[in-house]
Amino acid sequence: MSELGSALRALAALDPVDEAVTRARNACTELRWHNALRKRMPECRVESTVRAARASSALEGARYPIAYVREVIGAGREVPDDMSGTQLSAAVRVAAVAQEYSERPDALRGGLAHILSKLSLAAGAGLVPDEQLGRPRLAGEVPGDLGGLPPAPGPEELADRLGQLDALLTDPTLPGLVVAAILQGEIIALRPFVIGNGLIARALFRIQLVSSGVDPTGVGVPEAAFLSDVQGYGQGGAAYTSGSDVPGWIVSCATAVEKGAGEGRTVCQAVQSGKIPQNI
């Protein structure tokens, strides 16, 4: 067992973490049996993707109404030709990649580097030169997002820690939600790309949650929970990055999954009652 794997098991065994993870799993189980998912699962997952993209975009400062994002995804509506529109487009592309890979069981196992590359291409298009996308930062390159955190590590440490994450994902016995929280926290701490790290971190979180079976429906929207407490989300990421409160970060991620399952139930109810347009 790797050192990181042993540390993760110890974290998962802490009472606050175990209790938060249990609540989250119970909420996801309750969501799984919603009547709307028996025959209308695809519609519910599409709407979840809309809400995930909208929330993740808003966390990057590009706030748009859900109905607007729904039209962008469902009908190809053009976005404004400005930084806000470019950021929304990035969030939509990243959400599409996350949806694609989350449908594959244990999608990240053995494929972390490839998926990170695809997410980087999706997150950074139009924001930085193409040659800076699809691969981790090189010497002299600094991340252009997630400001206010301690300095990001250089290429050598970055490569080592990404390798540890890849090795961590080979152990199927580790708790999926805790692994998802560590994945998101590490991307926030490492900021491995020159841009788009926040979008990528949340996308990895979603992929791991769904593909590892924590939320097999893929209808939960933890991103909405992160958006509902922007300050707490930022503080949690900073605490993880500094190492001052890793258990607190995991608890906050588990709480977001629990609340995101509630948002998923809202999605199911809206689809079931015909409140979401299907002709866009």
pLDDT in tens, 247-277: 999 999 999 999 999 999 999 999 999 878 7
Identify the pLDDT of residue 112.
Answer: 95
Q: What global pTM score does this model have?
A: 0.95
Identify the pLDDT of residue 280.
Answer: 43
**pLDDT band at 1, cuts 50/70/90?**
low
Percent of all residues in the chain with a pLDDT value above 90, rounded to a whole number:
90
Residue 280 lies in a domain: no
**Cβ atoms of residues 149 and 237 within 8 Å:** yes
Contact partners, residue 216, CB within 8 Å, separation at least 6: 28, 32, 210
* Mean pLDDT to the nearest integer, 205-226: 97
Identify the pLDDT of residue 148.
Answer: 87
Q: Which domain holds residue 109?
A: 3-272
Identify the pLDDT of residue 221.
Answer: 98
- Asked whether residue 40 carries a pLDDT value surpassing 50, the answer given is yes
Residue 278 lies in a domain: no
What mean pLDDT value characterizes the chain? Answer: 94
* Distance from the first to the final alpha carbon of the chain: 50
* Mean pLDDT to the nearest integer, 40-51: 95
Residue 265 lies in a domain: yes
**pLDDT band at 35, cuts 50/70/90?**
very high
Residue 36 lies in a domain: yes
* Mean pLDDT to the nearest integer, 168-192: 95
Given its phi and psi angles, is residue 76 left (phi above 0), alpha (psi -120 to 50 degrees) or beta? left
Residue 255 lies in a domain: yes
Residue 178 lies in a domain: yes
* Mean pLDDT to the nearest integer, 187-198: 97
Residue 279 lies in a domain: no
Identify the pLDDT of residue 207.
Answer: 97
Residue 184 sits in a domain of what CATH number? 1.10.3290.10
Residue 231 lies in a domain: yes
Please tell me the total count of domains within the chain. 1
User: Which amino acid makes up residue 47?
Assistant: E
- Asked whether residue 32 carries a pLDDT value surpassing 80, the answer given is yes
Percent of all residues in the chain with a pLDDT value above 70, rounded to a whole number:
98
Q: What digits encode the pLDDT tens for the residues 222-243?
A: 999 999 999 999 999 999 999 9
Identify the pLDDT of residue 268.
Answer: 96
